[in-house]
Structure 1
Amino acid sequence: MARYKAVVSYDGSSYGGWQKQLNTTSIQEVIEQALAKMHKHDVAIVASGRTDAGVHAIAQVFHFDSEMKIQEKHWIKALNSLLPKDIRIQSVKQVTEAFHARFDAIGKRYDYLISNDILNPFKENYMAKDAHKLDVAYMQECATVLIGTHDFTSFTSNKIDPRKPRVKTITRLEVLQEKDHVHMIFEGNGFLRYMVRMLSQTLIEAGKHRITKADIKKMLEAKDKHACRYKAVPQGLYLVRVDYADDEEQN
């Protein structure tokens, strides 16, 4: 039995999120079904973390165990032949049996995209849309409040397990004006559920001058799950990279 680390890209538009659940199709479920077809028995996969319905991934990481003797390049071809076109395996490599996709992750990058081209149907599933012209410079100024190590209780789901640590470190938070959209980049040692979406919408509201830098600082310092009422739509969110200590290159 060998353990494998896989990197997968997916368009989350048609799925109820990463995690298996009742009454909707998940990305995890579809990948496990493909592995089951190959193995003739159930094969469980463990991801670096879950993504919500409508959220996309450029490089989600998961691991699985297999008794099959297949070269790494052939794993990619075999799995992609069984998966729908909106889920694509990018790499598969054998790792030690101690590797854990979730617990060994030391950092992640998420990107959030928002456009004011609200009439463009081709962006409907891949960017947030807002008719307002955002003040990107002010959004970047407000972002400085959030960089560093903080208790992010105010920017997470109210259903989060109270035993789960709320202190996270954001090492990079950039707000960039691209040609046809605003691009936010979040890098850190980990993110709570809904954290990136809530931070994104908070910065968007600041970009509309509906809230101030001081308001954001007050929300953060409140450490209260009711302090922030903002949460951006999932379509604009991408899991870009998951980092591991022994990576020769970042995924």
Structure 2
Amino acid sequence: MVGIFIINILNAFIEKLHMNVVCIIAYDGSKFCGFSKQKKDSIKIRYLETKIQDDTSMGLPYTTKLKMFSQENELLSVADFFESALKRIGINTHIIASGRTDKGVHATYQVINFHTDLTLQQMPLEKMKNLLNQKLSPSVLVRKIFLESNSFHARFSAKVRTYRYIFTQEDILPFFNPYIAKVQYGNPILIQQALDSFLGIHDFSLFKKNGSETKNFVREIYKATLLEKKLYNIPCCIIHISANGFLRSQVRMMIQACLYVSLAKISLADLQCQIDNNMLLTDKSCVRELAPQGGLYLCRVVY
């Protein structure tokens, strides 16, 4: 009992020395190569920082020049861009996210956390939020910032993740293209019936992109709904899918399968066979295509 008491005191003391900072962020996925850090990103960041420091022709803010130079070369990941902003305000650390979004996929409610040796006296949270938003604007926004215990982990502590997919088959203005997917679809009732097929616990081995790191492909879908609504006077459909987790590109593959059902390219029975893993990847009715990424948003994470 004495040993446990001492350990608890030590843990409490350690927590006072380290802040586990949690941020709820939003970002424009069209400006990044995805959320996760790429192998080349750290080299790319150092190259861009050096090039920017050497460039004296423009009296522009650092972040503006970073975005300009990254557009000239390759897009950065959200993670590297955020960590670069942290570094610029004196916090050299790595971030942990609730999930990874693909290139072009947006987030209105992504949760990240990171550890820092700074204290609240040295860096009040509101000051940290304001400084970060100055560095991250306009592609990323820190919506909320707060502290959690050291045991909190943005990915492993998450219980439910929800994605929103916005799509239309109308002609839309060019500047809506990265944010509303233009796709062909049939009867929305058939889309909802297809979505209902995913509810429950399934092995989604046939609904993942190659390269998924996880070895466990079982996920539980809690909710999958379709809503028809006008956005900016554009007739749209909005899908929400909630689950305990998703595999790489799983959401976009599920949605594409639902669109194919509505277009009679596959039947509900075909879809059920794919969900039940009763077909091969080479079968003609096995959907491997992905719905366009532009209309997809990570919109909610529950802990």
TM-score normalized with structure 2 length: 0.76
- Tell me, yes or no, if structure 1 residue 142 matches structure 2 residue 194: yes
Q: Greater CA radius of gyration, 1 or 2?
A: 2
Aligned partner of 2:79 in structure 1 is 28
Contact 1:73–1:91 (8 Å) recurs in 2: no
Give the 5 Å matches for 1:65-144. 65-68=115-118, 69=120, 70-130=123-183, 132-144=184-196
By how many angstroms is 1:225 displaced?
7.4
Structure 2's unaligned 5+ residue stretches are 1-17, 41-73
Aligned partner of 1:210 in structure 2 is 265
Kindly provide the amino acid, as one letter, of the partner of residue 9 in structure 1: A
> Counting strand residues as a fraction of each chain, which structure ranks higher?
1
Identical-pair percentage: 31
By how many angstroms is 1:120 displaced?
2.4
Structure 1's unaligned 5+ residue stretches are 245-251
Aligned partner of 2:63 in structure 1 is none
Give the 5 Å matches for 1:184-199. 184-199=239-254
Per-residue CA deviation, residues 192-232 of structure 1 (Å, 9 max, x unaligned), is 11100000111111122222111110111126672332211
- Tell me, yes or no, if structure 1 residue 8 matches structure 2 residue 63: no
Hey, what's the Cα distance between the residues in 2 that align with 1:137 and 1:160? 32
Hey, what's the Cα distance between the residues in 1 that align with 2:154 and 2:100? 11
Kindly provide the amino acid, as one letter, of the partner of residue 107 in structure 2: A
Contact 1:12–1:56 (8 Å) recurs in 2: yes
Deviates more, 1:13-22 or 1:224-233: 224-233
Aligned partner of 1:159 in structure 2 is 211
Aligned partner of 1:231 in structure 2 is 290
Deviates more, 1:67-76 or 1:109-118: 67-76
C-alpha change, 1:96 and 1:223, in structure 2 (3 Å) is farther
Deviates more, 1:138-147 or 1:192-201: 138-147
Hey, what's the Cα distance between the residues in 2 that align with 1:20 and 1:3? 21
Hey, what's the Cα distance between the residues in 2 that align with 1:225 and 1:31? 41
Aligned partner of 1:247 in structure 2 is none
Hey, what's the Cα distance between the residues in 2 that align with 1:33 and 1:224? 45
Hey, what's the Cα distance between the residues in 1 that align with 2:296 and 2:173? 18
- Tell me, yes or no, if structure 1 residue 55 matches structure 2 residue 72: no
In the TM superposition, structure 1's runs of 4+ consecutive aligned residues that sit over 6 Å from their partners are: none
By how many angstroms is 1:19 displaced?
1.0
- Tell me, yes or no, if structure 1 residue 242 matches structure 2 residue 275: no
Hey, what's the Cα distance between the residues in 1 that align with 2:207 and 2:254? 7
Kindly provide the amino acid, as one letter, of the partner of residue 109 in structure 2: A
* SS of equivalent to 2:24: strand
- Tell me, yes or no, if structure 1 residue 177 matches structure 2 residue 221: no
Aligned partner of 2:43 in structure 1 is none
Contact 1:128–1:233 (8 Å) recurs in 2: yes
Contact 1:158–1:225 (8 Å) recurs in 2: no
Kindly provide the amino acid, as one letter, of the partner of residue 240 in structure 2: I
Contact 2:273–2:279 (8 Å) recurs in 1: no
* SS of equivalent to 1:175: strand
Per-residue CA deviation, residues 69-112 of structure 1 (Å, 9 max, x unaligned), is 23322222111011131100011101101111111111100011
Contact 1:18–1:26 (8 Å) recurs in 2: yes
Query: What's the Cα RMSD here?
Result: 1.6
Q: How many residues align?
A: 241
Hey, what's the Cα distance between the residues in 1 that align with 2:110 and 2:24? 6
Aligned partner of 2:71 in structure 1 is none
